[in-house]
Amino acid sequence: MVTICNYISIRNLLQERTAMTTILHIASSSNLHNSVSREIGAATVERLKEADPDAKVITRDLVQHLVPHIDPAFVGAMFTNHDAPELALSRTLIAEVMASDILVIEAPMYNFNIPSVLKAWIDHVVRGGITVKYGAAGVEGQLKGKKAVLVLGRGGVYADGPMKAMDYQETYLRTVLGFVGITDIEVVIIEGVTMGPEKRAEALANARAKIAMITSRKAA
C-alpha cells in the first residue's frame, strides 16, 4: 500500500534516477472501438516510444478500469488521515503521476466538458498537501517540471467561431494542470469529426501531423 512516506521515497527516486522517460497514458473515452481521442492518443504514445525506445509507459484506462467518484468516506479521510485505506487508490494514482515525466491525456468532449471518469481521476490526484500546497506565498503546485499532451476529441468545431465560448474541455484541463504545477502543455485537437467522413479524415490527418511535430519536441 502506498503511504505518505512512500511519496517522500518517490520524490527521492525521481531526483536520483537516470534519464529514462516515463509516460503516463490516460484514456477516458467510452467509445472503445471508434474513438478519435483513443486513436490519436495511442499514436502519440507510439511516436514518443519511437523517439525514446527505452521509455516506460504506464497506462490508465479510466473506462475499462473505473476510478470511482469521491464519496463521504474519501472526503472525511482526506482531512484527517492521508494514510487511510479509503485513500489507497488516490495514493496509487498520485504515485503514478509523480513517477511520470510526460502525461498523455485523452479526453473526448461530452456536453462541452471532459468525461466524468476523467474528472474522478483528477479529484483523486489533485490533493491539498500532496500535489498542491498552500503556504504564506499562496498556492504552489507540486508537479512542476512535467510535460503534458492533451488529446482532445470533439464532434463539432470549438477552436474558433460561435462555439468557442462553450469549450470547457481544454480550458478546464489547462487550469487544473497548471494548478498542480504542470504548465508545459501541448494540445492536439481532433474536431468536427461528426460533420462527415471528409471532415473526420481531415481532422485525423491534421492531428497526426501535429503529434509528429510535438512528440519530437517532448522527447528532446
Whole-Å CA distances, 216 to 77, 190, 209: 42, 19, 11
pLDDT by residue (tens digit) across 148-167?
A: 999 999 999 999 999 999 99
Higher pLDDT, 17 or 94: 94
42 C-beta neighbours (distance < 10 Å), count? 17
Q: How does the average pLDDT of the chain come out, rounded?
A: 91
Q: Look at residue 146 and tell me whether its pLDDT is greater than 90.
A: yes
- Listed residue (149, 142, 155) closest to 31, CA to CA: 155
Is residue 219 helix, strand or coil?
coil
**Beta strands at 138-141 and 147-153: parallel, antiparallel or unpaired:** unpaired
Are 112 and 56 within 8 A, CB to CB?
Answer: no
Domain housing 134: 4-218
- Of the pLDDT bands very low, low, confident and very high (cuts 50, 70, 90), residue 218 is low
Which residue carries 529514462 as its cell? 20
Q: How far apart are CA 37 and CA 109, in angstroms?
A: 10
Q: How far apart are CA 104 and CA 50, in angstroms?
A: 15
| pLDDT at res. 9 | 52
Mean pLDDT computed over 116-123: 98
Contacts of 167 by beta carbon, 8 Å cutoff, 6+ apart: 109, 112, 158, 159
| pLDDT at res. 15 | 47
Is residue 25 helix, strand or coil?
strand
**Cell for 170?**
481544454
**How many domains, in total, are found in the chain?**
1
The amino acid present at 164, given as its one-letter code, is K
**Cell for 202?**
481531415
Contacts of 104 by beta carbon, 8 Å cutoff, 6+ apart: 23, 24, 25, 26, 41, 44, 45, 48, 148, 149, 151
| pLDDT at res. 87 | 97
- Of the pLDDT bands very low, low, confident and very high (cuts 50, 70, 90), residue 30 is very high
Q: What is the pTM of this model?
A: 0.89
Residue 32 DSSP label? S
The amino acid present at 189, given as its one-letter code, is I
- Specify the CATH number for the domain of residue 140: 3.40.50.360
| pLDDT at res. 21 | 93
